[in-house]
Chain A
Amino acid sequence: GEDVEQSLFLSVREGDSSVINCTYTDSSSTYLYWYKQEPGAGLQLLTYIFSNMDMKQDQRLTVLLNKKDKHLSLRIADTQTGDSAIYFCAENGGYQKVTFGIGTKLQVIP
């Protein structure tokens, strides 16, 4: 079945770059996503990448996809305190069912 794994915690200093990594198992995934969840809030889609792409850049966000290794990463440039949140890697496993990882808690130190 589908499985998504990611590290639990990342701490960075304000202004540095953050890199959150994720591995997934479903080779048939069409889209891979990064969601952000702030305390007490729902999920916000940050960005997504289609499975035939290697990289996608959107302002401060860069997504890298290594389909051979089933590895996805999210780089946040110039990380700000407002970026502190839990970041979920997710894949779609057919008919828009989305499988999420456990989430990486990003702590930004001023």
Chain B
Amino acid sequence: DAGVTQSPTHLIKTRGQQVTLRCSPKSGHDTVSWYQQALGQGPQFIFQYYEEEERQRGNFPDRFSGHQFPNYSSELNVNALLLGDSALYLCASRSVGISGSSYNEQFFGPGTRLTVL
């Protein structure tokens, strides 16, 4: 089992550009969450996808959008990049489980390091 994988590993963009980051969840997982971790900070929740819909969203502008595919993989899109978007973007996956509310550990990927110049 490869665990949670993310691509690319590193990315450099310029202000105003658009970027797409990709995440493949751990095998058997159906829920994907995205986090932004700025340098020296803890991860900040962006949003979560389950059943191809955005289920919960953190305090991020509409420039941040996402998508989940039928195979549970997910993309994070950021439009009109700002210097402040430079960060490590982490994807995490889990399984909702049969009950939908039982504890299920979130597994994190290694992240995509985005640098905006």
How many A-B contacts if CB must be within 8 Å?
57
- Chain B contacts with A in 60-117, Cβ cutoff 8 A: 90, 92, 94, 103-111
Q: Summarize A's interface: helix, strand, loop or mixed.
A: strand
Query: Do A97 and B42 form a contact, CB below 8 Å, given A42-B108, A45-B105, A45-B106?
Result: no
Question: Is there an interface contact between B56 and A101, defined as CB atoms closer than 8 Å?
Answer: no
Complex Cα gap A107–B41 (Å): 17
Q: Chain B interface residue count: which class?
A: 20 to 34
Contact of B56 among A43, A97, A102 (CB under 8 A): A97
Query: Do A99 and B45 form a contact, CB below 8 Å, given A42-B90, A43-B90, A45-B105?
Result: yes
Complex Cα gap A42–B44 (Å): 14
Q: Chain A interface residue count: which class?
A: 20 to 34
Confirm or deny: B31 has a beta carbon within 8 angstroms of a beta carbon on chain A. yes
Question: Is there an interface contact between A101 and B42, defined as CB atoms closer than 8 Å?
Answer: yes
Question: Is there an interface contact between A100 and B110, defined as CB atoms closer than 8 Å?
Answer: no
Contact of B31 among A4, A88, A96, A98 (CB under 8 A): A96
Question: Is there an interface contact between A42 and B48, defined as CB atoms closer than 8 Å?
Answer: no
Contact of B43 among A31, A50, A94, A100 (CB under 8 A): A100
| Closest Cβ neighbor of A101 among chain B residues | B42
Residues of B with Cβ closer than 8 Å to A? 4, 31, 33, 35, 40-45, 48, 55-56, 58, 90, 92, 94, 103-111
Residues of A with Cβ closer than 8 Å to B? 4, 31, 35, 41-45, 48, 50, 88, 90, 94-103
13 example contacts (A-B, Cβ-Cβ < 8 A) are as follows A35-B108, A42-B111, A43-B92, A48-B103, A94-B56, A95-B48, A96-B31, A96-B33, A96-B48, A97-B56, A98-B33, A98-B45, A101-B42
